[in-house]
Amino acid sequence: MPTHNPGFATLAVHAGAQPDPTTGARATPIYQTTSFVFENADHAAALFGLQQFGNIYTRIMNPTQAVLEERVAALEGGTAALAVASGHAAQMLIFHTIMQPGDNFVAARKLYGGSINQFGHAFKNFGWEVRWADPADPASFESQIDERTKGIFIESLANPGGTFVDIAAIAEVSQRHGLPLIVDNTMASPYLLRPLEHGADIVVHSLTKFLGGHGNSMGGMIVDGGTFDWSASGKYPMLSEPRPEYAGVELHKTFGNIAFAIACRVLGLRDLGPAISPFNAFMIQTGIETLPLRMQRHCDNALAVAKWLKDQEKVAWVSYSGLEDDPNHALQQRYSPKGAGAVFTFGLKGGYEAGKAFVEGLQMFSHLANIGDTRSLVIHPASTTHRQLSEEQQVAAGAGPDVVRLSIGIEDEADIIADLAQSLAKL
């Protein structure tokens, strides 16, 4: 690596990786093994006692996974990271580390439908309560905080509407109350926006989306910003109090600004087990090498498509932050001047039925529940990803009955628009 601070594109290709010391392989090998041989009994004891870093068992860590973690941590500007099986798994481990039964956290209403479902339903089984707030109104977060609140959760670029959130304003709320701000940066990726630079403490990703970028591998990532004082309030005992399973080690005292990533690994991933496979880690880190190229093409194509849709008679509205007359445009320019992302929504004048018919009429677009692929993707959220919500909840989440969500790929702009045009013509 260069002696000066490398740029983003250089980090995307090189961070965390080096030629294999045994074979000289330039690409990071896939270490397809379950476990690793110890040097001797003392070495094994030191690894199990958190006195030495190293590989024990692939459920906990793996050399292929380690390269992916270091790369994403470098791209986000974090101190350490943990790769897991999916974005949902990453969220589960984050809250497992900071929450106890009876605790609550405050989350933005405009989130990916799966996160709304996870927070509002699955988390109840752990005794964790979610309280909803308006991402456009920082005061609405503050009004939900009490003595059992353990964190604030937002998306930097909200799914499905593609609206940017004022991270710094919500960070001020979290800092006043001594709470970590957790930001899902999946939709923006660190190429467009780095939440840690705006006051976030923890960043979470679905690696399945833009970071992997090719729709072929599942994965999730937790990035530790190294900024939060886990010992100040006594509200986070898993980090500030002696851990009996590790002979009384106090994780924050011992590991400092990487303590949260360590805790998620050795207290969460170790026992709950949502490990990423070495093959998926390899595929995703390979995808990251082209992240800057792909994201800029995504953004350029998406802006062209949004402008075209605004002029179509059968389209009622278009919500894309990159449009100069969009209410969210000022925030986009402030937080993400390189582009407004690939994902946005629009509404058809025919409502729910028109939305379904439009999706079915597309030919090049793939109708599926994913975003961030090289291919252009489409979905009707009200009948799919947000189907489990009431109509009121759908509207609040930006996924009302008339909404169609597009994830614009890296194909030729003219071909993307041609497919949209032929489907609109059939309505």
User: What is the C-alpha separation between 427 and 423, in angstroms, rounded?
Assistant: 7
**Number of neighbouring beta carbons within 10 Å of residue 234:** 9
Same domain, 21 and 60: yes
User: What is the C-alpha separation between 63 and 59, in angstroms, rounded?
Assistant: 12
| In-domain check, residue 116 | yes
Mean pLDDT over each residue of the chain, to the nearest integer: 95
| In-domain check, residue 199 | yes
Same domain, 20 and 115: yes
pLDDT value at residue 161: 79
| In-domain check, residue 244 | yes
| In-domain check, residue 88 | yes
Same domain, 257 and 317: no
pLDDT value at residue 222: 98
Same domain, 306 and 243: no
Among 253, 272, 287, the domain-final residue is: 287
User: What is the C-alpha separation between 127 and 314, in angstroms, rounded?
Assistant: 46
pLDDT value at residue 396: 72
| In-domain check, residue 171 | yes
Same domain, 47 and 139: yes
pLDDT value at residue 189: 98
pLDDT value at residue 113: 82
Same domain, 170 and 203: yes
- The per-residue pLDDT for range 1-26, each reduced to its tens digit, is 556 789 999 999 999 999 998 899 99
Among 244, 260, 287, the domain-final residue is: 287
CA-based R_g, the chain, Å: 22
pLDDT value at residue 399: 75
Among 223, 258, 287, the domain-final residue is: 287
**Residue 390 φ then ψ, to 5°:** -70, 165
Please, which contacts does 18-21 make with residues 24 or more away whose CB atoms are closer than 8 Å? none
Same domain, 340 and 211: no
- The per-residue pLDDT for range 180-203, each reduced to its tens digit, is 999 999 999 999 999 999 999 999
Whichever domain contains 373, its CATH number is 3.90.1150.10
Same domain, 225 and 306: no
Whichever domain contains 30, its CATH number is 3.40.640.10
Same domain, 203 and 270: yes
Same domain, 240 and 304: no
| In-domain check, residue 79 | yes
| In-domain check, residue 1 | no
Residues whose CB falls within 8 Å of the CB of residue 195, separated by 6 or more in sequence, listed in order = 76, 156, 167, 183, 185, 203
Give the three-class secondary structure for 249: strand
User: What is the C-alpha separation between 71 and 74, in angstroms, rounded?
Assistant: 5
Same domain, 87 and 123: yes
3-state class percentages of the chain: helix first, strand second, coil last, to nearest 5: 40, 15, 45
pLDDT value at residue 3: 67
Residue pair 160/407 in contact by the 8 Å Cβ criterion: no
- Residues spanned by the domain of 360: 292-425
Domain count, the chain: 2
| In-domain check, residue 3 | no
pLDDT value at residue 398: 73
User: What is the C-alpha separation between 186 and 209, in angstroms, rounded?
Assistant: 7
**Number of neighbouring beta carbons within 10 Å of residue 297:** 19
Same domain, 303 and 400: yes
Flag residues of the chain having pLDDT under 70.
Answer: 1-3, 385-386, 397
